[in-house]
Amino acid sequence: MENPVVVAVATVVIIAASAFFVAVEFALMAAKRHRLEDAAAESRSARAALRSSSELTVLLAGSQLGITVCVLALGAITKPAVHHWLTPLFADWGAAYWMADVAGFVLALIVVTFLHLVVGEMAPKSWAIAHPERSATLLAIPMRGFMWLTRPLLRALNNAANWCLHRVGVDAVNEVASGQDPGALRQLVEHSANVGALDASYSRQLSGALELETLTLGDLVRATPPTAVPVGARVADVQEASRRTGHLRILVGEADHAVGVVHVRDTLEEPVGTAVDGLTRPLLRLPADTKVYAALARMRETSNQLAVVTDPADPSRVRGLVTVADLLRRLFPLREQSA
């Protein structure tokens, strides 16, 4: 192809196509899914972008296929044409033909690489990262059309890539995870506190909240033995145990094999000689390896302020108690200090 106009037009089209595929790839990687979901109610393009984000591996296969085709097209059309134009120019300057041919080849390679790298990749990549939701929405419909035309090939390429991943023990995913994991958020909180962007008190509270995702009840169980009264105890025994220890919830039975719990407030209007059997409430028993966030949800569902932490190997054996107050003190350590 020696016609300069045809080559120039073809080069512009190829580089524009490469820029399109690069922008699609980086836009969907950087776009926040919740923002696309918000826009999907009013925008067809946003709905198309949302569908693409749900089959990300197929979209990436389409982007890579498009970029690869564009690179091959530049190598087949633009580079030989530029090489063909430059070689006679160097020869006219007095260079030997082989030297002019080498110089033309190298310069043509540099020109084509520069155009593709800067105009066809780096510029659209920066634009897509700077405006991820806008670029993803703008480019979604034409990309969906390309994926529809090439879907059988894209699925074959995607399945081949997934097979390679499975061979090395990696599970492929079809969409980008939304949000940040607790480890990344914890690192962000620590960094913000270190550079002075976040007050130390708020930093401790946020770190405590993030720890709830990994903490278990065994990490928070009280070191002191729980307060208990024997089975058949009277109201006077419960009130005496509460005055002695300051605890409001008293276990009924042996401390490590309790059968229920009684709140001292339920005994205030009862005669001191009344047996507490009728005032005893069932215990919420949770294994020591229960995650704190799961324990909080269970305590809220059952309206319990106290949970008995049991040995995972022996559910009948009590290791200690955890109350909602214990969890709040871990979450808000400053309140405990100022109390």
Sequence spans of domains, the chain: 4-167, 182-211, 217-338
Report pLDDT for 224.
63
What pLDDT, on the 0 to 100 scale, is given for residue 191? Answer: 60
Q: What is the mean pLDDT of each run of 10 residues along the chain (339 residues)?
A: 77 91 86 77 82 82 90 86 76 74 82 86 88 86 90 87 81 57 60 63 62 72 73 84 82 74 83 82 83 80 81 75 74 47
Q: What is the pLDDT of residue 13?
A: 92
Pairing relation of β-strands 257-263 and 306-311? unpaired
CA distance 332 to 301: 22
pLDDT of residue 20: 92
DSSP for 9-63 reads: HHHHHHHHHHHHHHHHHHHHHHS-HHHHHHHHTT-HHHHHHHHHHHTHHHHHHHH
What pLDDT does residue 337 have?
42
Quick check: 132 and 27 in contact, CB under 8 A? yes
Widest CA span in the chain: 120
How buried is 285 (Cβ within 10 angstroms: 0-12 exposed, 13-18 middle, 19+ buried)? middle
Q: Amino acid identity of 120?
A: G
pLDDT of residue 116: 84
**In this structure, are residues 262 and 249 in contact, taking their beta carbons and an 8 Å threshold?**
yes
DSSP states of 122-141 as a string? IHHHHHHHHSHHHHHHHHHH
In this prediction, residue 205 carries a pLDDT of 61
Please identify, in words, the CATH class of the domain defined by 217-338: alpha beta
